[in-house]
Chain A
Amino acid sequence: MRPKTSVGAWVSAVVVLVATAGARPCVGQESRIGNLIGHAPAGKKVYRRYCILCHGPDGDGTGENAMWIDPKPRDFTLAVFKCRSTPSGTLPTDEDLFEAMSRGFVTTNMPAWLPLSHQNRADAVAYIKTFSPKWSTLKPGTPIAIPPEPAATIESILRGRGLFQKMECWKCHGPAGHGDGQSAKTLTDNKENPIPPYNFSTGSRFKCGVTNRDLYRIFMTGLDGTPMPSFADDLKPGEAWDLVHFLRTLQPLETPEAAIWKAWLASHAKDLKPIGPAGSGQ
């Protein structure tokens, strides 16, 4: 009697062990990038060669290099991502992760992974999704609708300037968009690490893209895990495009918006009320 029970116990222990091992990352997750299907087991190989030193063996952003890096590598165990096409608080789409990986993150240590094949990147996306149970229990959000961009006009730019004042973007990004607003120095991310607001005078690229559509998406979805909130409940699509047109005038670029703005400013600079606590936008 006794030996039998003991064998039974061993068998069930082994079964339990195997079952738990199966629940750990890797098995099951796939990614879909257009017609491409990424597989987690193949992604694990990519990850362990190219990603592990920063993002760590457990995907929690504590790889060997992490201590030397600022901003810190993404912690995939939280399943919170900056660059999404989906509303704040929802998971990004596979394409969002694929594009973020391909684009890299400007002003950070995350390079553009264009040297990896499309298949490698799709596989890595699938593997990244094994680090959080949220990928099994929740579905990615529905990408926000972005209507076609209306023409950039001085009226649109001025309305956008009014919104920059009204939505109080200047409190973090500063009156001129230099990332020096009154709250700028107090900002921290979801791990309590200091994080500066974007400085529009530094160049042409954002963390989440380069185009006007990317810019629209950034403030309408918010950058989750950072102080940058979503304005989707507060701005109508037309207003969002107005804000895009104004934000482009803050960058040192030869954009159509900047040309319109400079031409108008040459004769109207005196009419503008300053942006900031005492100003009213225009």
Chain B
Amino acid sequence: MKAIGLIIVIITGGLLLYATQDFPSWGDPASPASTHIATYHLEKAYEETSVPNVVTAVLADYRSFDTMFETGVIFCAGLGCFVLLRLFRKREDSYYRHVSTGITLHIKGGKIPDASSEFERIDTLWTPYDLIVKAVCRILAPFVQLFGLYVIAHGHHSPGGGFQGGVILGASVILLAISHDMRTAIGRVSEKTIHILMAVGVLLYAGIGALCMFLGTNFLDYGSLSRILFTNEIEARSLGILGVEVGVGITVMAVMISIYNNLSSEGRQDEGL
């Protein structure tokens, strides 16, 4: 297998390198890629959409259809992990600790103590109780979320946008799951909430597009939103871009949390890393 792999790789690499002889040099400002479509985008993006960050303008307005399917791809990944891994049966082995005396119980397939203040569930992989880590992460989580919201909202003026902000928002909940344990994180943001948020985010994106279609123009043409937002067309495009970025951010956050929950707990969503 290694020999076949080496032969395939050498032939493919050789063909790819042979084909680069006709390429324009790196950084050539007169190359076809730099002059054909990109010039139009750079020159017209600000006056047509009032968004200074040209990457966001192209991503969410000129090629917004691609971005909608990109959000669809990440939705598929979240749903795919759920479908492949989720087991609704409870684990065979579980560990409980009696709070007042500190005795640990190992229960194998028998009756499990009810959730009460006397017995608390502990992870199979024992980790030491670390006050500093837990307290710091609990205090930091809202600041991380604030930063995530800032990245989403400021995508018009600086590098950022829905995807990046969504990942940061998801990371704040995953931080809670890693520093405390998964049951705490799921208690804060339940599985049902996550799945509904996944759907809501992408529905917001596709819904804005469908709304544009109802108002008369083509799908995802934000100009028609000016009728219901009482502003001119250019500002309506800017607001439309903000709307879809928010939708993307919601979905990406929910999918990141869902994939982490399913992967690290092997589908049972009771114990994690």
Q: Do A and B come from one complex?
A: no
List residues of chain A with CB under 8 Å of any chain B CB. Answer: none
List residues of chain B with CB under 8 Å of any chain A CB. Answer: none
